[in-house]
Amino acid sequence: MADTQPESTPVSEADLSLIKRIIPHRYPFLLIDKVRDIVPYEGAVGIKNVTANEPHFQGHFPDMPIMPGVTIVEAMAQTSAIVVGVSLGIIDQPLNTFFMTIDNCKFRRMVVPGDVLELHCTVKRPGGRVWKFEGKALVDGQLCCTAEYAAMMDLKADG
């Protein structure tokens, strides 16, 4: 007898394979490695293992590599898109996510190679196409970034 999960079992964690089945991002712009603690329509925690091998560190900055703030916010958005995909049951369908707003964004601590970035994303307003979120990025419990953002979800038709 095969050990399989029934269709009705809620998804509470997404590994890299499932992430790629929900969002279209790929190297070098796939900025999350795992999503845990997924609660549909409520939120999740994304995990980004920051390594010195990432392409943005070649120019930001060669002698003092710092993860660009925009990529931290993008990682929050990708985590949030996984929450949307799980909430709506959108797996193996072409879900595109587009930023609409980024508000009250603040950076508090640098993120550097070797850090494990935790992206705590909360759904503030679920919607059909437009969702609103609040995100907090932490390293070792220290706040790195906060932001409120909205995104439009576009489920592309084939062809």
Chain segment 89-136, per-residue pLDDT in tens: 999 987 888 999 999 999 999 999 999 999 999 999 998 889 999 999
Angle at 130 between CA 138 and CA 36, to 5 degrees: 35
Catalytic residue, from 25, 56, 60, 120: name it: 60
Of 54-58, 71-75, 143-147, minimum mean pLDDT range: 54-58
Q: Where are the beta strands (DSSP E) in the chain?
A: 34-39, 43-49, 95-107, 116-125, 130-139, 142-155
pLDDT of residue 96: 86
Whether this model's pTM surpasses 0.75: yes
pLDDT, tens digit, 9 for 90 and up, residues 124-157: 999 888 999 999 999 999 999 999 999 998 876 5
- Minimal CA–CA distance to 117: which of 65, 43, 48, 67? 48
Second-level CATH architecture of 16-155: Roll (3.10)
The question of whether 60 is a catalytic residue gets the answer yes
